[in-house]
Amino acid sequence: MPGPITRLLVSGMTCGNCVRHVSDALQSVVGVAFATVDLASSSAVVRWQPGSAASPQGLVDAVKTAGFAAKPVEESSPEATAPPVTNPWRSPLALGLPVTVGLLAADWVFGLGMNRSFQWAAFILALPVQVWLGGRFYRGAWQQLRVGGANMDTLVSLGSTTAFFYSLWALLAGLGGHLYFGEAVSILTLVSLGHFLEARMSARAGSAVRALLDLTPATAWRAGTGDSATEVPVRELQAGDEILLRPGDRVPVDAIVISGNSAVDESLLTGESLPVEKIPGTALLTGTLNQSGRLRARVTATGETTALAQIVAAVQRAQGTRASVQRLADRVSAVFVPVVVAVAVAAGLGWALAPAQALRIHQALAVHLWPVHPPAAPVAGGILVFCSVLIVACPCAMGLATPVALMAGVNAGARRGILIRDAQALETSGRITTVVFDKTGTLTLGRPVVMAQEDFRPAADRVVPLAELAASLARPSQHPLSRSLAALAPGGLELSDWEELRGAGVTARWWNRKLEIGSVASFHAAGPDLTAAAEFIGAWTRQGATPTLLLADGCLWGAFALRDELRPEAVDVIAQLGASGLEVFLLSGDHHRAAAAIAKAAGIPETRVFSEVRPEEKAGQLRRLQAEGRRVAFVGDGINDGPALAAADLGIAVARASDVAREAAGLVLLRADLNAVPEALALAQATLRTIRQNLFWAFFYNAAAVPLAALGFLSPVVCALTMGLSDIVVVGNALRLRRPAKRRTGIPIAPGPGKTGDRWVARDP
């Protein structure tokens, strides 16, 4: 069962960097599984680990320590259900933009900067902008100062306030010269504009979670007697209730079909483009769309236990993790603001106290860069340089580099039925050298067909058909081979002491006889006489089938030949992975000839086949590959592959939505299509590449911009503009992950269902 959820309202956040700090603070609380923070609604959702008691006060204290304020809200309170603000920067910009444009145009276009009346008008217009628009930055800077910290709000506040109050002092003192009210408000306006665009683009990056959350309808039709039904809120449904679904209805909860048949669109949940046929006994997933028929279904899961809720939780958890490539950025950011303030003070004092030397250095470099006319007044020049350094060095791009790329990549994957568990899975995917496929249910369809059977019983024991015995014995098991045997006959015999022996078969008692079904290898150690079945076993083994034996009290009673079929897309997928330089192996519990036959059909060399491997031995085989220096990804069907998924460097679970909570896998593929394997690897690698690009850009921008500002080549207005652009570049680069793009290098990506030639990766720069 998932842990409890706590919802918070958080105040004081102004940008994506603030969101990251709040998220880190929440996740540092003991017992928190993950936290999701939303800037637009100023809210946070915290999921606790299973078995942990919720501690809202602990969360509030952690947020307060980080320099922000928070309060818990109940699920049913108006605050929790109020619609989120579309963009918190929209209203302040409505004032800031007209004032900024008007002041800068009057100053630099119409030449009114030295006019005394205009200077007073500029002060009057700039004051409300400085108070209202600047208030956001002042509050953020003060909250950080209270806890002994500093952030980009500190830099913006210092820069804008310095320009404003210097201009006010010069105006009141009648010093004459140029004043910088326009520059003061332009700093606030342009930085706010950057935050506005950042919030808008980040909302697009995180749209998949909101789309998933919107899939659950508010009401459902609870079935009564006959065809009667009552419309009730979804939250009132419980496991065991029966619901009715009409054409066009969204499935409100996880359920299993009792009667009726229909086609259901699962594309938004699993990435499957074609509708899935639903008949009695098949599962329905929350949020999917019933298309053509009427269905009656029994509820199996509600609320936080549904597959949809687990998918949302998996996406949110992935967005809350951090890649190790960001550790350098975190260490730099921790000391960045104090260093920048020191550089700004030194540069400002240099221009104010030694203007000749500063100008000489500036002019020497201007020959190689671009001509700039610094202010003639030393004090004014020092103040402008001080403001420029503070503004241009805002570390917001550095803080956004990883989370926004991770959010975009995780959401792009979620739209295609690919769940990326965390940032570590992304990093691991970039170092994979070997891909190992499980056979049954992964590389094959997982629906073996009984090709032949032979009865070896004495005539006196042939009272019940052999198929009936096998079907009755196999029916309780979920193993693919058992399901195939169970389909041979109704299988209604009464058995006792039924037991499944993992990797060996099943056993039970029937009329005081011990019945056993298992592979040939599982019976060899027991030493029964299998001579009668030798010809049957040899003939079908050579054809790539899996012989399965039925024994009674240790005596051979029957043999069955089962053969699984290779998935139709497997050959192309193996070829794609091989062409990208990855070595592909096959791991199977089947005998060697059956495994080798499947491997040959898929294009895997026989030397890369591990056969007759019990489930508990799969992890050991992977460790042997790792001991050879390989980085191993294991692709399993999520049924009995947990240890192998955990042992691999990267576990990839090819599973339906019911398996999304499998903690052992780094990547979970919700659609049973092997094309998703290279697609998922490429998406993960593209996301990691985008993170690295963003971090490089953020570091390069600051490394280049700070010296240029300190040497007088960038004005405060230009610095504010470039700082905002740096955020937009980082977010925009991440958003490329959301669109299909032709891949130029790395793993070739197979087209997804219904998307010919699409590639869910970023374009190479």
> What is the per-residue pLDDT across 356-372, written as a single tens digit (0 to 9) for each?
898 888 888 888 888 87
Q: Is 558 in a helix, a strand, or coil?
A: strand
State mean pLDDT over 460-466: 91
| Higher pLDDT pick, 641 / 48 | 48
Q: Which residues are catalytic?
A: 438
Least confident window among 77-86, 108-117, 240-249? 77-86
Query: pLDDT > 70: what percent of the chain?
Result: 82
CA atoms within 13 A on the CB side of 414: 30
CB neighbour list of residue 331: distance below 8 Å, 6 or more residues apart: none
Residue 744: band (very low, low, confident or very high) from pLDDT cuts 50, 70, 90: very low
Least confident window among 117-131, 262-276, 498-512? 262-276
Query: pLDDT > 90: what percent of the chain?
Result: 19
Tokens of 361: 């250095």
The phi, psi pair for 555, rounded to 5°, reads: -105, 140
Give the span between the Cα atoms of 441 and 458, in whole angstroms.
36
Look at phi and psi of residue 303 and say left if phi exceeds 0, alpha if psi is from -120 to 50, else beta.
left
Residue pLDDT, tens place only, 690-703: 888 888 887 787 77
User: pLDDT value at position 227?
Assistant: 75
User: pLDDT value at position 576?
Assistant: 92
For residue 406, is pLDDT > 80? no
For residue 3, is pLDDT > 60? yes
Least confident window among 90-94, 210-214, 512-516, 720-724? 210-214
Give the span between the Cα atoms of 77 and 8, in whole angstroms.
12
Tell which CATH architecture fits domain 431-441+568-670.
3-Layer(aba) Sandwich (3.40)
Residue 296: band (very low, low, confident or very high) from pLDDT cuts 50, 70, 90: very high
The phi, psi pair for 713, rounded to 5°, reads: -95, -10
Beta strands 434-438; 418-420: pairing state: unpaired
For residue 150, is pLDDT > 50? yes
Mean pLDDT of the chain: 80
For residue 121, is pLDDT > 90? yes
CB neighbour list of residue 499: distance below 8 Å, 6 or more residues apart: 506, 507, 508
For residue 323, is pLDDT > 90? no
User: pLDDT value at position 375?
Assistant: 66
Residue pLDDT, tens place only, 503-518: 678 999 998 899 999 8
State mean pLDDT over 86-101: 76
Tokens of 199: 């919030």
Q: Is 463 in a helix, a strand, or coil?
A: coil
From the list 397, 410, 21, the residue with the least C-alpha distance to 197 is 397
State mean pLDDT over 404-415: 78
| Higher pLDDT pick, 721 / 428 | 428
Q: What is the dotted CATH code of the domain comprising 217-304?
A: 2.70.150.10
For residue 376, is pLDDT > 70? no
Residue 661: band (very low, low, confident or very high) from pLDDT cuts 50, 70, 90: very low
State mean pLDDT over 216-244: 87
Give the span between the Cα atoms of 643 and 646, in whole angstroms.
5
Domain boundaries of the chain, sorted by first residue: 5-85, 90-205+322-402+693-738, 217-304, 431-441+568-670, 449-563
The DSSP symbol for 105 reads: I
User: pLDDT value at position 167?
Assistant: 84
Long-range contacts of 171-180 (CB under 8 A, 24+ apart): 171/119, 171/120, 171/123, 176/114, 177/114, 177/377, 177/380, 178/113, 178/114, 178/375, 178/380, 179/113, 179/119, 179/122, 180/380, 180/383, 180/384, 180/716
Which residues are registered as beta bridge partners of 6?
Answer: 46
How many Å separate Cα 120 from the centre of its chain?
Answer: 53
The one-letter amino acid at 272 = E
User: pLDDT value at position 188?
Assistant: 82
Residue pLDDT, tens place only, 345-354: 999 899 988 9
User: pLDDT value at position 82?
Assistant: 42
User: pLDDT value at position 79?
Assistant: 44
Residue pLDDT, tens place only, 584-638: 999 987 778 878 888 998 999 999 999 888 777 888 899 999 999 999 999 987 5
Q: Which uninterrupted H or E stretch holds 192?
A: helix 181-205
User: pLDDT value at position 510?
Assistant: 92
Tell which CATH architecture fits domain 449-563.
3-Layer(aba) Sandwich (3.40)
Residue pLDDT, tens place only, 159-198: 788 878 888 888 888 776 778 788 788 778 877 776 676 6
Long-range contacts of 49-55 (CB under 8 A, 24+ apart): 49/3, 50/1, 50/2, 50/3, 51/3, 52/3, 52/4, 53/4, 54/3, 54/4, 54/5, 54/6, 55/29, 55/31
| Higher pLDDT pick, 665 / 62 | 62
Residue 759: band (very low, low, confident or very high) from pLDDT cuts 50, 70, 90: very low
User: pLDDT value at position 749?
Assistant: 39
State mean pLDDT over 136-157: 77
CATH of 5-85, one of 3.90.1150.10, 3.40.47.10, 3.40.50.740, 3.30.70.100: 3.30.70.100
